[in-house]
Amino acid sequence: MLQDVRIAAFTQFLLGPAAVQYLADMGADVVKVEPPRGGYERRWAGGGTFPNGVSAFFLLAHRGVRSLTLDLKHPEGQAVARRLVQTADVVVENFRPGVMDRLGLGYADLRQIKPDLVYATASGYGADSPYRHLPGQDLLLQARAGLAAVTGTADGPPVAAGAAVVDQHGAALLAMGILGALHERRRTGEGQRIEVTMVQAALDLQLEPLVYALNGGLVQRPREPLASSFHEAPYGFYRTADGYVALSLSPIKLIGEALGDPPELRPFVDPALALPRREEIHRALQPLLRERTTADLLRLFEEHGVWCAPVNDYPGVLADPVIQQLDPIVEMDHPEAGRVRTLRHPVRYGSMEGSTGSSAGARPDRMPPRLGEHTDEVLRELGYAEADAARLRADGVV
């Protein structure tokens, strides 16, 4: 799909690498530029997860890219980077604003040598923001943008999401912006600079509740077990005899029929009561569900068309037949980490059926790279002779 696109990736942490991994999965030639000793994402991993000493944090977001080591503070390293950019369609970077400019690799500099360049940048708050110096870290953005304040329950503290949702959404927005800019370039012949900010990504994740609040709606953290203050009951996670079940937006009359018409639910069968009396409905419903197992409730609810789901932990996710039929996990035999399991590319493309389970994704020849694995290869593509490459290596440039 993107086999004719080359991307020079000056990326770090999660947002930038995850964005270009989406594009690498689609076939783009992504050359990741990293320091000769490796970046932070090679030295850190959540929970200390280092299969055979290799960072799982690096492995999860660098599938399909090539590794070129460069000292960007060295003038010759900057010269190599500029030569790479001349062969690229896209530059992607997610350093703090100003870093690439100081290295002579900002958009104003690079468009002089590549006028039709698509230059994609991501940061916490944006290059023009008075807060551009602040760190763009996922938890901090969840806090500042209001996401933590609307997560959890009214009687508890703010709650962080269980994953780096701002980074991941920012990555998807950045990849989307790059694809749009490439389409525009093919239409007009012109490149452009595009920018994604993590604060905007965090706000965009809250499109529904934030727009309600902006237009007079009451948005606040709900009381347990409600999962929302603005949805009709039932809408939440309910304790069962052996776990939890999620119920969403189903008529109380239907739920009552599934449970054998208990008298506790009869006062609430009028759909008009589902929002104003949602807390009463939850209090009436919860004891009825605690009497039955999760499996029993799911069977009853599914038979009656009630919207429901189990609340799975990760072992439950992997064992869930609904998840299994999607085949979302792919295994890779990495030369250093060994057998590694990761997530497949999340979009299925009819044009790529038969290659990786009906979706783009980790081909055997597109493993996350070893540090500098493709340095000599890329230097040759850029026209450097073996003697020049040896000199750059001896000087610590690569």
pLDDT on residue 230:
79
DSSP letter for 267, please. Answer: G
- Cβ atoms of 330 and 344 within 8 Å: the answer is yes
109-133 average pLDDT score:
97
pLDDT on residue 260:
97
218 confidence band (pLDDT: 50, 70, 90): confident
pLDDT for 284-324, tens place per residue?
A: 999 999 999 999 999 999 999 999 999 999 999 999 999 99
Structure-block tokens of residue 242: 């052996």
Contacts (Cβ under 8 Å, ≥6 apart) of 347: 359, 360
Phi and psi at 144, nearest 5°, equal -65, -35
First to last CA, the chain: 31
360-369 average pLDDT score:
65
Does pLDDT of 186 surpass 80?
A: yes
- Indicate the length of the chain as a whole number: 398
Question: Nearest-CA neighbor of 274 among 308, 303, 298, 247?
Answer: 247
- Token pair 């792919």 is found at 330
Phi and psi at 237, nearest 5°, equal -105, 125
99-119 average pLDDT score:
98
Question: Nearest-CA neighbor of 175 among 363, 16, 61?
Answer: 16
Q: To which H or E segment does residue 58 belong?
A: helix 56-59
pLDDT for 337-359, tens place per residue?
A: 999 999 999 999 887 664 443 45
131-160 average pLDDT score:
91
- Cβ atoms of 305 and 248 within 8 Å: the answer is no
Three state DSSP letters for 75-120: HHHHHHHHHHHHCCCEEEECCCCCHHHHCCCCHHHHHHHCCCCEEE
Q: How far does Cα 261 stand from its chain's mean position?
A: 43
79-83 average pLDDT score:
98
User: What is the reported pTM?
Assistant: 0.93
224 confidence band (pLDDT: 50, 70, 90): low
162-168 average pLDDT score:
97
- Please, what are the domains in the chain? 6-204+326-394 (3.40.50.10540), 235-311 (3.30.1540.10)
pLDDT for 249-287, tens place per residue?
A: 999 999 999 999 999 999 999 999 998 998 899 999 999
Structure-block tokens of residue 207: 């499109």
Rounded CA-CA distance 229/219 in Å is: 6
